[in-house]
Structure 1
């Protein structure tokens, strides 16, 4: 059965710091495993649902802690399964590439080693078998043994289904799994042993191309479609997710989910098919389960979301000089979003909270005197969420917070570039998302840096560390919508024990997964014109423009002719004041009419029948003429400018 997690996110926090789609966080609740680079022994599921051969691979060296196949030494010796290089042999199974191999030395000690498959599920299957390529050379005359064993209870007990006594192969060998139909905890192992050492010169065994073949059961299929593949920020997208049971059997329970970007706003959704909402819905997914999901039955989720970009930021170390420069950083979906070019600079101080992890700020910060007015550096946290850390920094008086991400898991870079993880935009180092545990608004900006950058910053806090955090313009970002379905009545590995293998699966290899990419064009002022083609990407809203018109009107009114008094001191003071007034007037006018593509402003100007060029000219002339004593055109220009401004203000209202 599908098991909800504590918040659905904790088990993956070390790798994505809670910045991932819901289903990934749910699937990662148990053993954390990854597909390996350089496959040695692959498992392919034929007709067995999810996942197929990317479920994979065996690395006998043990150098990668995320190995899929398990190597056991049942007598504690060093003679165990390895790869072809370990054996000093080519692939002799009839297959190609790598193979699992055991080639014991002729004079070595007794050995007993097992190569154990991952757990897989045969619940609901009407037939099942497995096959593999083998080359077995026995020169010890019945003294060594190769047994094929199956467990229906996850490895608690094992049944010998075949024993090889003599040399065999190269051949493709097939064995039935009929006794294990209905089990959701099936494992297969190859056990190679010899209780009599010193008589195995020349003997070896190789295994390659392992497959599990199934029929019957339920077969869930997922698809997702979007109303567009490109959208301007602030506009809506319609999304449709469909789950179908292709049969031939009913699924006792079926689960479907529609994942959408966490930065997007869910406006509405409708579910068909008699669903019951699961308790672990989050801000970036809709998940439902169905009881008695019959063959050919279909369920749908129709949703409308508002497209919004994720913040992009930059981090510059200003001091000390030895580490000065730009560093990669990610923003947050909580707290204020720094506008393009908006900057927060200051001294960085490491937080202290006096508990087990004293520098993560999960508890009330104790060194508030240091933190207040500075930028708080907060180490990776296992006991709280990032928004909780930032809130504690805010309460301590920090002007901004830098959160250090946790280290990547070994082997993470080996995720295939066309894997599901890549397609849905999964990253263990991404934008920070709200957890829901902080109920009051966060008022300071925050960023996340990699563990490497964080360590460097921490080491230099004592050296007068100063940084600048700035907002960046978002021109375009690519997001993924994904649809996922699951049933225990499919022949997939035990769920969710395959953990991170979910990320390595390619959607083209299974029908339980589907995704659609959507490009969002940034529109920082939400005027319907994307920043990438907007001459004035930061033009203000109608309300702000109205305020600017009022401010400019006041400035125009304040500009008055200057009459000289003949006294140098007074004339100098008046001219200085007038110069400043003219400067303010020019700045206000430039700010208001320098960018004229704001929708609201254009509408207002058109409806007021105002010529922007004349408006600008009249207002500036009014200021310029005011410097000349008794200028006859000053009053005329001033009145015309004020009348034009009044029309625009009225139209904006």
Structure 2
């Protein structure tokens, strides 16, 4: 059984080739999976596993489960309802601090007729960099050219083809409290499903690697450290944050050096925000 993989891969002296920052295949027994959350305004319609949404042994239930299962034995699915519904499926937080060329990808299936042709609903893929307070839309099914119409003029027989979506997250590099969500907003529309959600990156900056693009000439030492980390930079510091590998901010201070003495041994990210609006991030090791 595929399980949620949620981590930031690290290398000590070099760039590694592929990191999986978020991975979910919805092959568990419940939805939402561990770390995910869901909400819906219509109490009878929430995101759920395809097998739960279309349960039963009737020919119709079996056909619908087959139609909306994208991969494996289940996908994340939400069914249509005659009334209005806004339903969200939100990922755990992850960090893009130090990531190289991050990409958000997922597989999705919608019906052309009700969702696109009649436009009775919208499925959005969105991103948040503040832990879910505000959201920016990355993808909308209306603008997806890979969904197709069979051309027979009958919306009830239109295609339900699966599309693989890939969106670059390069503009969000450096953000340490990132979430993605799938938002379904519809009235008398159609069911939709998603699967194989991933955020991957090509590499992260190592302990001994200093980014050549940093105009701040940031250096942190000693690294590894058993206690205090000294920070040297050409710029005026606005704040310093210590972040764990799940993207959680453990401590923040206005300026100066940072003491790691109270933290467990392990890997952390030190994010320095400057007065000019820029920032820099270094991996640090607590011994």
TM-score range, shorter chain: 0.5 to 0.7
1:247 Cα offset (Å): 4.3
Query: Using the alignment, how far apart are the partners of 1:42 and 1:50 within structure 2?
Result: 7
Task: Give the alignment's Cα RMSD to 1 decimal.
Answer: 4.1
Matched, 1:187 2:179: yes
- TM-score normalised by length of structure 1: 0.27
Matched, 1:209 2:209: no
C-alpha spacing 1:40/1:218, structure 2 compared with 1 (3 Å): closer
Q: Deviations over 1:22-59 (max 9, x none)?
A: xxxxxxxxxxxxxxxx6587668786758665999876
Report the equivalent of 1:137.
Answer: 111
Matched, 1:84 2:50: yes
SS at match of 1:174: strand
1:170 Cα offset (Å): 1.1
Which structure's relative contact order is higher, taking Cα pairs within 8 Å and 6+ residues apart?
A: 2
Q: Which structure shows the higher helix fraction?
A: 1
Matched, 1:149 2:126: yes
Q: Deviations over 1:388-429 (max 9, x none)?
A: xxxxxxxxxxxxxxxxxxxxxxxxxxxxxxxxxxxxxxxxxx
Gaps of 5+ in 2: 10-16, 55-64, 149-160, 213-217, 233-263, 272-283
Q: Which structure shows the higher strand fraction?
A: 2
Query: Using the alignment, how far apart are the partners of 2:76 and 2:227 within structure 1?
Result: 42
1:80 Cα offset (Å): 1.1
Gaps of 5+ in 1: 1-37, 220-244, 255-272, 280-288, 293-482, 491-511, 513-653
Report the equivalent of 2:166.
Answer: 174
Query: Using the alignment, how far apart are the partners of 1:484 and 1:51 within structure 2?
Result: 21
Tell me which of 72, 83, 92 is aligned to 1:118. 92
Report the equivalent of 2:35.
Answer: 68
State whether residues 23 and 199 of structure 2, in contact with CA within 8 Å, keep that contact through their aligned partners in structure 1. no
Number of equivalences: 202
Q: Deviations over 1:570-605 (max 9, x none)?
A: xxxxxxxxxxxxxxxxxxxxxxxxxxxxxxxxxxxx
SS at match of 1:487: strand
State whether residues 26 and 195 of structure 2, in contact with CA within 8 Å, keep that contact through their aligned partners in structure 1. no
Query: Using the alignment, how far apart are the partners of 2:106 and 2:268 within structure 1?
Result: 27
C-alpha spacing 1:134/1:43, structure 2 compared with 1 (3 Å): farther
Tell me which of 56, 81, 102 is aligned to 1:128. 102
1:91 Cα offset (Å): 7.0
Query: Using the alignment, how far apart are the partners of 1:103 and 1:252 within structure 2?
Result: 52
1:96 Cα offset (Å): 2.1
State whether residues 20 and 198 of structure 2, in contact with CA within 8 Å, keep that contact through their aligned partners in structure 1. no
1:209 Cα offset (Å): 1.2
Tell me which of 233, 258, 278 is aligned to 2:227. 278
Query: Using the alignment, how far apart are the partners of 2:25 and 2:270 within structure 1?
Result: 18
Query: Using the alignment, how far apart are the partners of 1:54 and 1:86 within structure 2?
Result: 18
1:116 Cα offset (Å): 0.6
Tell me which of 69, 72, 89 is aligned to 1:96. 72
Larger Rg: 1
Report the equivalent of 1:636.
Answer: none
SS at match of 2:171: helix
State whether residues 41 and 99 of structure 1, in contact with CA within 8 Å, keep that contact through their aligned partners in structure 2. no
The residue correspondences of 1:350-361 to structure 2 (distance < 5 A) are none
State whether residues 41 and 209 of structure 1, in contact with CA within 8 Å, keep that contact through their aligned partners in structure 2. no
Query: Using the alignment, how far apart are the partners of 1:100 and 1:176 within structure 2?
Result: 22
State whether residues 70 and 117 of structure 1, in contact with CA within 8 Å, keep that contact through their aligned partners in structure 2. yes
C-alpha spacing 1:92/1:137, structure 2 compared with 1 (3 Å): same
SS at match of 2:51: helix
Query: Using the alignment, how far apart are the partners of 1:119 and 1:278 within structure 2?
Result: 27
Q: Deviations over 1:99-131 (max 9, x none)?
A: 2111224x4x21110111111111223422211
State whether residues 71 and 116 of structure 1, in contact with CA within 8 Å, keep that contact through their aligned partners in structure 2. yes
SS at match of 2:73: coil
- TM-score normalised by length of structure 2: 0.56
Report the equivalent of 1:158.
Answer: 135
